[in-house]
Amino acid sequence: MLRSLASQLTLTISALFLIAALALFQWYLHSSEKFADEVEQVLHRDLAAHIVHDNEKLNNGIIEASSLTSAFHTKMLLGPEWEFYALDINGKVLAYSAPEGAVKLKSVNLKPINDYLNGKNFPVYGDDPRALGTQKIFSVTPIISAQSSQTQGYLYVVIGGQKRDSATALLAGSKVLKDSAFILGLAILFGLAAMLIAVTIITKPLKQLSQRTIEYVNNDFTHLNQSKNSWLVSKEIQDLEASFASSAQHINKQLSQIKNTEQLRRELLSHISHDFKTPLTGLNGYLETWLISPENKRSVELIQLALKNGQQINQLVEQLFELARLESGDIQFIPEPVNVVELAYDVMQRLRYQAETQRVALSVEVDTNHGIIAYADIGKLERVLVNLIDNAIRHTHANGAVKIEINDFRNKVAMSITDNGMGIRQDELDAIFEPKYQASNTQGNLNNAGLGLSIVKRLLEIHKSAISVSSKPGMGSKFTFELGKTAL
């Protein structure tokens, strides 16, 4: 129970509240006592002076212990809470009104007396001769000699004295104090109850959010129950719920992508297994046929077919390794200024034999007579052009045409590979860049591994470029991408 946020907040705030209430009550008692002392000291400001004036000997500056003891007892009948002390010029106690043995101090500190006489703000506390280390409010006046006008000592009157201490002790049983304590207790209980309600209201949405989180996890991150916003819920908690909902959607999207990727991985492995199996079976078959044939009937054609299947396997392995490196990011990228016109003609020359074999015309179309420079990794850009042109040749009928269009713009270079071949259906345009996707126009073409366009897409992503395609079945296709003219 103590581990919940509501209980921890309740206990913490309750403790602070009680500490604050006790501190306030103590301050109230202390300030009330100070105020009472100030009032009483002001009321008795001239008490000592009146007593000196009424006593003939003191008024003449004569301090006699024997006569003063009797006078002090008489005065105590008028004010039993007063205690009288006659002090010499150094503060030594010469006479007093207390019983014998009750006075513990032989002298009184003169500093509070001087502060009192110099007009320091009340209350001013001085020594209580009957209690060591205790200070009380007092009234004091100097005793001045009538002949020499010199101060002979002081009349020091402790206000309250021991009887006042007893009254203070009895105050604990007074009805006023009990009523005050009762009211304070009710205020504390009301404050604690109000605080508990407030904490419950504040933490309830957090508890509900925690429950929805657990349900979301138990539902395999597929369904998140949405809460209804209430005016009682703070904006911060609503923002927290909104951020959690956004995170949950992001997690759900990532899980869906992971599941799709895993499904694609299984399909890719299945396709790759099939792609390897077909040329390997042919390779083994041709070699076995060649071995069991008599020497005079061993055909060179069997070796050529076996070689063709071996080359197909080698090409598939290279493409798989290349795609794996691109997917993992384990590939070196070195951009530099590249003359894309010269590169286009080099690639055309490289694929010219393949095009002539299939009776497809190759051409380069440029809108300027000078070279066009783009910033790219020349090796990877060449790989992009080879894959796109090879793909175009394979999907173009005899007597068809494939061309590279290069357009020079202010901040970029646009390159397009266009053919007038089979074309691609509209519903397949978004899928042709996925690994091992076999479009409907590749049926019967078992020599293609289906990885070329995937490699093209990822190579262009490294160049911070994207490839687009437009196509119509029976009319051909056009693949377009752009390159920047400045360093990446």
Strand partners, 363: 403
d(CA 293, CA 448): 31
Q: How many CB atoms lie within 10 A of CB 331?
A: 15
H or E element that contains 362: strand 361-366
What residues contact 342, with CB distance under 8 A and at least 6 apart? 371
CB 327 within 8 A of CB 451: no
Is the alpha carbon torsion for 342, 348, 353, 354 positive or negative?
Answer: positive
How high does pLDDT run on average in the chain? Answer: 79
Specify the CATH architecture of the domain 44-172: 2-Layer Sandwich (3.30)
CB 37 within 8 A of CB 219: no
- The first and second tokens of residue 141, run together, are 């006046």
Which segments within 43-131 are labelled E, that is strand?
82-88, 93-96, 125-127
Q: Rounded to 5 degrees, what are φ and ψ at 260? A: -65, -40
- pLDDT for 252: 78
Ramachandran sector of residue 119 (left: φ over 0; alpha: ψ -120 to 50; beta: rest): left
**285: amino acid identity, one letter:** G
Q: How many CB atoms lie within 10 A of CB 437?
A: 19
- CA 336, 342, 343: angle at the middle one, nearest 5? 60
Alpha helices, H only, 293-435: 300-328, 340-350, 352-357, 378-394
**DSSP letter at 4?**
S
- Classify each residue of 173-206 as buried b or exposed e, where b means 16 or more C-beta atoms within 10 Å of its C-beta: eeeeeeeeeeeeeeebeebbeebbeebeebbebb
**DSSP letter at 369?**
S
Domain assignments of the chain as residue spans, ordered by start: 44-172, 333-484
- pLDDT for 271: 59
Helix axes 235-292, 300-328, angle to 10 degrees: 170
Integer distance in angstroms from the first to the last C-alpha of the chain? 58
Q: pLDDT tens track of the chain, all 488 residues?
A: 556 666 777 778 778 878 887 887 778 777 777 887 888 888 888 888 888 888 878 888 777 776 776 666 656 555 567 888 888 889 898 888 777 778 888 899 999 999 999 989 989 999 988 888 888 899 999 988 878 788 888 988 888 755 555 445 445 555 666 677 678 778 878 877 887 787 777 777 777 777 777 877 777 666 666 666 566 566 777 777 777 777 877 887 887 778 777 776 776 666 566 566 667 777 788 788 888 888 777 777 878 877 877 776 776 677 666 666 666 666 788 899 999 999 999 999 988 988 998 999 999 999 776 789 999 999 889 989 988 998 899 899 999 999 999 999 888 999 999 999 998 888 888 778 876 566 555 544 444 556 778 888 888 988 999 999 999 988 999 999 999 988 76
3-class DSSP assignment, residue 79: coil
CATH 3.30.565.10, applies to 333-484: yes
CB 401 within 8 A of CB 363: yes
274-308 pLDDT tens trace: 566 667 777 788 788 888 888 777 777 878 877 87
Which segments within 89-209 are labelled E, that is strand?
93-96, 125-127, 135-144, 151-159
H or E element that contains 205: helix 175-218
- The first and second tokens of residue 352, run together, are 């010219």
- pLDDT for 444: 45
- CA 78, 83, 85: angle at the middle one, nearest 5? 120
pTM to 2 decimal places: 0.44
**DSSP letter at 233?**
S
- The first and second tokens of residue 55, run together, are 């006593």
d(CA 456, CA 385): 8
